[in-house]
Amino acid sequence: MSIRHCASSLAAEAAGCGAPNGFNAGLWRLSRSDAGDAAEAPRGGPRPTTPTAAALEAARRGIPDLIADNIKSETFFWSVELIPGTTPLLRSLLDESLQHLARHRPAFASVTWHVDHLAVRGPDGPEQVEHPAMALSARLQDEHGIPALMHLAAGRMAKQHVHAVLQACLVAGVTNILALRGDYKVNADADFPHASDLVHFIRKNFGDKFKIGVAGYPSGHPDSKSREMNFVHLKEKVDAGADFILTQMVSSAEEFNLFKQECDNREIRIPIIPGLFLIESYKMFEKLIRTCNILVSKEILDAMKQIKDENKEREYGKCLFLNLVVDLMKLSSCPGAHIFSMNRVTTATKVLDEARIFHDAIE
């Protein structure tokens, strides 16, 4: 089912012009080796939530190694972004999601960071540092067997605090870091005015003890003065020692492929993982376009506007998401997809279950 067909049928019903054809999950039973043919349904039931000793050991591997393994085996992987719960209710809801997530075997889970939640209780030492992102990352690995990629947004942090956080991460076995400046303005005299400064700091002080991911912006970073400068800054992060790139949201396989080609042309040749959103409403879609500086075709935007029905907006968002995953699977340059879940883990995995895209991981 094409995006155009899915959009037009949903919009037509919303306007009283006839019944939609609906989404046929059978069309999406795909494997990496043949993204054009249907594959078999998942075998067996979901895996137990208690990870094996082997899974716990594997959960502490470096993400670049996990990516390399999937590329070698021609397995298209998926990963997910999680937001730590900061209240008892949010933590309880997230705990339920983690049990569900563990049964679906994501390649890894990234964990967002907010500097305001950092607690440094003493002058020095890893035992004095606490942060919800560190705690959740350790739990993902130690209790659920899911490799963790902890975000570290250092734009408003002092060097000694970043050093203490990284020491604490080593103690906890959290050794995959997504090095970020953060979505806020920083002072010119800040210790980490750019993400490349953080990458350099980690490599200088910790060598290869951490595997480092950095953010990529296929539509351009909001602060970049030109598309070329966007790649200049990305190259600075890679040259400083980054191991892989995790992109901001992409809206099409063509957008990702162009970004990958432009990276290749500038000798940026580390793995690049595209970021995806599962859109559930036009309101959410509009906000993402506005705040994330993403490019979306007029066709898609107009179709979403026409629907004007929450259930049908959700269905169309599912169509967009699955079409994009399938198109990305066809690209040899794309090793997997990272889902920005907004902690809607059950919703995301339900869509993947229905479509049977990652059926090899759910057994």
- Domain of 227, CATH number, reads 3.20.20.220
- The DSSP symbol for 61 reads S
Q: Given this model, what pLDDT does residue 127 score?
A: 58
Which residues, 6+ apart, have CB-to-CB distance to 216 below 8 Å?
A: 234, 245, 246, 247, 248, 259, 263, 272
With H, G, I as helix, E, B as strand and everything else as coil, classify residue 306.
helix
Backbone angles phi, psi at 144, to 5 degrees: -120, -5
- Residues facing residue 43 across a β-bridge: none
Q: What share of the chain is helix, strand, coil (3-state, %, to 5)?
A: 50, 15, 40
Distance of alpha carbon 83 from alpha carbon 112, whole angstroms? 5
**Domain with 90 in it:** 50-355
Flag whether 33 is in a domain.
no
Residue 295 within a domain: yes
| Under 8 Å between Cβ of 224 and 184 | no
The string of pLDDT tens digits covering residues 136-187 is 999 999 999 999 999 999 999 999 999 999 999 999 999 999 999 987 778 8
Could you tell me whether strands 129-130 and 176-180 are parallel, antiparallel, or unpaired per DSSP bridges?
unpaired
Q: What's the pLDDT tens digit per position in 223-232?
A: 777 899 999 9
Residue 303 lies in a domain: yes
The predicted pLDDT at position 358 comes to 66
β-strands 211-216, 176-180 pairing? parallel
Q: What is the pLDDT of residue 293?
A: 65
| Distance from C-alpha of 21 to C-alpha of 11, rounded to nearest angstrom | 11
Residue 346 lies in a domain: yes
Contact at 8 Å (CB) between 206 and 175?
A: no
Can you tell me which residue has the tokens 């599962």?
A: 278
**pLDDT at residue 50 in the model:** 75
Give a yes or no: residue 289 inside a domain. Answer: yes
How many structural domains does the chain have? 1
The answer to the question of residue 168 being in a domain is yes
- Look up residue 289 and give its two tokens: 């376009």
What's the rounded Cα separation, in Å, for the pair 150 and 113? 8
Question: Which stretches of the chain drop beneath a pLDDT of 50?
Answer: 1-48, 361-363
Residue 180 lies in a domain: yes
Q: Give the pLDDT confidence score for residue 236 in this predicted structure.
A: 98
**What is the value of pTM for the model shown?**
0.84
Could you give the CA distance from residue 63 to residue 226 in angstroms, rounded to a whole number? 31
- Structure-token match 């209790």, residue found: 143
CB 78 within 8 A of CB 106: yes
Asked if the structure places residue 275 within a domain, the reply is yes
SS3 246: strand
pLDDT of residue 25: 32
